[in-house]
Every structure is written in C-alpha cells, then in structure tokens.
A and B are shown apart, each in its own frame.
Chain A
Amino acid sequence: MAKRITIQATRFDPEKDTKPRLQSYDIPFSDDSMVVLDALNYIKAHVDGTLSYRWSCRMGICGSCGMMVNGTPKLTCNAFLRDYWPQPVVVQPLNNFPIVRDLVIDMEDFLDKLKSVKPWIVRKQEIPLGAGEHLQTTSQIDDFKQFSQCINCMLCYAACPVYGLNNEFLGPAAIALARRYNLDSRDQGLKDRLPVIAEAEGVWECSFVGECSVVCPKGVDPAKAIQQTKLDTTMRFVLPYGNRE
C-alpha cells in the first residue's frame, strides 16, 4: 500500500494574482528519506511545472532552500517528510520578506545589510604576500569560528519578530557576521563597523527574543553574537581605553 502525502504550497504570480494562495498537491511518499525539497521537486517534475522555488546543493550548505514549513523556517532539504506524515505539510515563502513568486522571496535587503557591515578583513597596514600568512592559533580561530558558519539562509530573519515589525533592523546574520570579523585576530576593522552595528537600527533594536538562534541550521547562535556585541560596544563606551574586546 503506497504512502501518499499532501503538500500545500504558496502560489503567487504577480502577473495573475493580487495575493498569495495555497495550492494542494497529493504526491507519493515513496521513500522514508524524502525531504520537503524532494516533494517540491516531484511536484515540479511530474505534477505542476509552474511551481517556483530556489534550491541547489540539497545538503544544507548553500542556503538556497529556506522556506516556512508548517510555520517554522527550515531548510527544506533537511526537513524530513516522515516527521510530518500523515498530516499535510504547508510550505510557504520565508516570513518577513516580500514575495517575488510562489516560494521565492526578495533577498536584496539582506544583501544590502550584509555589505553594510563591511564583511572583509580591514587592516591599517596590509602585510605583503611574500611575508606569508598571519600567524593564528586554533584558539584564536575558536574565538570567531561559530559566527563564521553562517550560510546566509535567512531563516533567522524569518524568525525574528523585530525584523518582521521593522525592516530597518540590521538583523541576526549581518550582526553575527560583523562579530565574526571583529573577533578575527587578523582584523582591525572594529571602528569601521561600529557606526553600523551600534546604531539604533543595529544591535540595540534587538530585544533578545532568541528565536533566530533556535532556527539557525548551522548553530551560529546569532542571538549570542548580538548580545555579546551589545555588551562589547557598551564596555567600549564606558571604558574607551580598555581592552579592545
């Protein structure tokens, strides 16, 4: 007796629709390892070719396939159908973003925010290539390692009610990335990043809901990054000649 499962996916074509609606698909659930992404691929290949969504690596590293699955932001390549079956699975585009088409959201705001925190090594004086690498210990890497794991999937932005209510908020991933560079022993760009991080729409907009860290598929813990940044920027203000950290 072949198993089947119902997928309800958001449909929205701006050329035809004024607002999004859910469309139901009933498909075979043929293998226990099937994920929501497999279901979407099946629908597109065999049932309805008009369903649009982003995906690529299918192994949780490219960050393309983030969507709301039953109200929670998830990477659909890592959301197993067996965890939802026999209930229907509702797949919607990520919350808090404008919807371009079906399950595809507009991520330009996110990219602007990413760029605004100057996510590159800033040095007062570059050392020449011939001098070899900056020496860095494993312990120094551990300082920022967690915050370097972000795959830019934007699940954290979808989970953050602050971003949902105020699109100006810099947001979890951007702040975590800023902290990644601020903590990198090779970087000297803290001052360059401070104006963006420490402004009203920066870390201070965050009220520590913490849902971003709950949904992060890579364990980046952006909530921690933000709170630690708040503490650090405050200490910098209070003790301007104290330890840079």
Chain B
Amino acid sequence: MYVKRMKRSNQRVAVVGAGMTKFVRRAQETSKELSWEAAHLALASCDLTLDDIDAVVIGTAPDAFDGVHMKSEYLSDSCGGWGKPVIRGYVGGGTGVFAAIQGWYHVASGLFDTVLVVCEEKMSSCQPHPQAAFLTIFDHTTERPLKPNLLWIFALEMNAYMHRYGLSKRDIATVSVKNKRNAALHPAALLGDPDITVEDVLDSPVLAWPVQRLDVSPVTDGAVALVISASHVARRVTDKPVWIEGVGWNLDTAYWTNRDLSYPVYVEEAARMAYDMAGITEPRKEIHIAEPYDPFDYKELHHLEGLMLFDKGEAPKAAADGVTQRDGDLPVCPSGGLLGVGNPIAAAGLMKVGEIFWQLRGEAGARQVPGNPRRGLAQAWGDLMQVGTVIVMGV
C-alpha cells in the first residue's frame, strides 16, 4: 500500500546528455570498453568532459553474467569514476531506471552539480546461455532445488494475466510486432524488423507455454549513459534540458508464489510516488509518451495498467486499436523497447530513459513521435516479478 505522500518536486534536476552503444548479441568489446563508449558518447553529446563530472553512478545487473565479483569496482575506471565518488545501486531488472533515479538524488541532495550515470550489461560472457545465471536468483531453500527457469515463472505470470482478462495470444503478440517494427528505425537496435507480423510471433517456437520465442526480448550486450545536472549547470550546458519531475520505486515480497500475479501492484505504487512528485493527477492526460518495461510482450500491457495509463485488462484493446503506435494517442515504446532494441538488463532500462530524453528534445530522428510531446515516462521492473521503478520527465 502506498503511504508516503511525496511533495511536489521543487528540485530542478535535468538530464542534459545521453549516449548509447549499439545493442548486439555478442560484443567483441569487454564490459569496460562498452561502458567507456557509452560514457564517452554521453559526455560528448553535451560537450562536457570528465573534469565536469562530480560523481558517478553505475548500474549493472547480476555479477553472474560476467563472472566478476564487485563489478562496480571493476567498471569504475571505464565509467569515469577514477578519483571520484562512485556508487552502484541494484534493484535487479529495475536497475536501469533506478540508476537515473539515483542520479537524481545525487544532484537533488545538493552534494553534486553534475553526475554521470552509466549502465552496462554484457550477458554473452555467460556460457552456454545467460539463462543459467538466473538459476541462482531463486530462494536457496524453497525454490532452487526445483531448478526453476526464469521463462517458466514469467509464463506463470503471463498465464495469470491472460486468464484473468480472457486474453488470447493474438491480443498480446501485437506488442511484439509494434516494438520490433519501431526498432527498425533505431540505429542501435538488435532486433528491428519492419516486416514482422502477428503470425510470425504466433508461429515462433514455444519456450514455456504461453511464452514463445518472439514474445521474449533477446540476450544482448550494450551500455547506455546519461549526464544529469542541477538547474544552474543544465541551463549553461544546453538549451533543451529535460527535467526530472518525479521518481518512484517500490519492492514487493520475495515470496512471489503468494501473490496475485495478474496485476503489478508494486508498479502502481512506484507510479503513484512519481506522479505525486510530478504533480500529476490525471496520468492519461498528462503523460504524452511512455516507455514501460517490455522484456516480454505481455509485460508492456501489464505495466501500462500498473502505471494507471489504462484500466486493468484494457491495455490489449488499446494496443489493438493502435493507441500505443508511434503515431497513436499514447505512443508506447517508440524506441522499439527491449523486444526490438534489445535487453542488456540494466542498460535497457536506462535506454528507455534516454529515449524519453531524445523524444522530448525532438532528437529521435526517424522514430520521433509526432505532436511535440512535453512529458514522458520510463519504467523498469525486476527481481522476482517484484520491483517497479518509474521516472517522469518533462520539458
């Protein structure tokens, strides 16, 4: 239950720069090289150098992917942290959006003027398949002996969602089609496909019913970085700062087996926190563009409902009606999302924040949504179907 009433934010904290590597299946670069490239691009995008950076925030998901213990220490140099305050926050798959939230509170605390936020993930190092790393996320006493696979538990959640609202696979497959088509216009995307159809998704191999191969985002390597500044710096650095208006995060119980999986209540609570802070009372009117977390196609719909942008069970209909298309009333995942651009866990979440930044500045190129959006939202999700992280940004 959401109890904390956030104050309307009077902190003027802005994203002023962003950069990302190409998202690929198997990067030749090391984790250090990927994070350096993203950090370098973000700094170059706003004509700053490391001398302008007061602190570094690092986001990266399980150390088990790279097999590097204390991974933020390993990455600290390449993320620009030499001689600077470096901190890594961690909320599983929610980390990417949370890293931006953490950048916000670094600056809003008054301790730092400009912070570099870098998220990196190199999943391909984990052989033979990174799914193996997820075998170690389960409770060591009650669950791990059953050797559950991550796809299985999401299949349970997808089933619960479909069953609750009487949804068909076809209702959900439209999300995958939309996002992979959107990604065809993203220069850094791994799985963009302008010609994909609902039939392609429905005909793809079954992984764990009802999850099929094209319902799922791919294993990906990549890195994304943002530069976040206090207002006095932001106005000096750029004509187009994108203000962080609200942030929210929320964690549910680890005992996911005891929960109603058909509705992500923790996402709603995170959203309420962020909306309060942004002074948003009618999110459906006040949010112009959304990047909800879409590692699976049903998750985009699930999260749109948790974010209160659609009524419970109504998101699939809106998707079918084209509301969430790039030129629809509420463009959703115009980047192509995780399904299209790729899913290097923490980097994918920060990519969504970057997409809102580019869209609100009108710099999204071929994938720019029409109508000059003034306010957008990015959201990520993770742990054992348990955490929601939300950021609201505006110009």
**Do A and B come together as binding partners?**
no
